[in-house]
Amino acid sequence: MTLSGKIIHVLPAESVGQSGKSKQTFVLETEGQYPKKIAFDVWENKIELSLNEVVTVAVNIESREYNGKYFTNISGWKKEGASAAPALAPQGATLPPQQAAPTPSFVPQGDDSLPF
C-alpha cells in the first residue's frame, strides 16, 4: 500500500526495547478536498525523509491484539516517486535515454503591425 502527500512533522528518533533498534515517526498530510494526517514509523533509517518533502511512501499496515484491544502500526519501508533516488541499471545494462519535452514553436501569422 502507498501513501502520498507532504511530510508536515518529523519527530525525534528513539530507541525501542532492549534491542536498541531505532525508529522515527513522520506525519504525512494527504492532498485533496479532505486532507488526512497519517503518522507512520520508519525503522533503522530505512528511508530518508525531510520536513515539507512531497513523497509517495510504500507502507505496511499491521494490527495486533493485546489484552482484548487492537493496536495498529504503519511502517514505511520505501520512498517512491520524483523524490526517490534514480533507478540504477544492472551492471552491463543501460537505461533508456530520457526524452525531452517537445519545445513549442512560435510561428507568426498575418500582419505584424499593432492594432492601434
Name the residue with higher pLDDT: 72 or 96: 72
> Which residue segments constitute the domains of the chain, with CATH numbers given?
2-80 (2.40.50.140)
Phi, psi of 51 (to 5 degrees): -60, 140
Q: In this predicted structure, what is the pLDDT of residue 38?
A: 96
Ranking 15-24, 56-65, 69-78 by mean pLDDT, the lowest is 15-24
Residue 86: pLDDT band (50, 70, 90) is very low
pTM: 0.66
Lowest-pLDDT range of 18-27, 30-39, 62-71? 18-27
Using the structure block, give the residue that is written with the C-alpha cell 510561428: 107
The span from the CA of 98 to the CA of 12, in Å, is 38
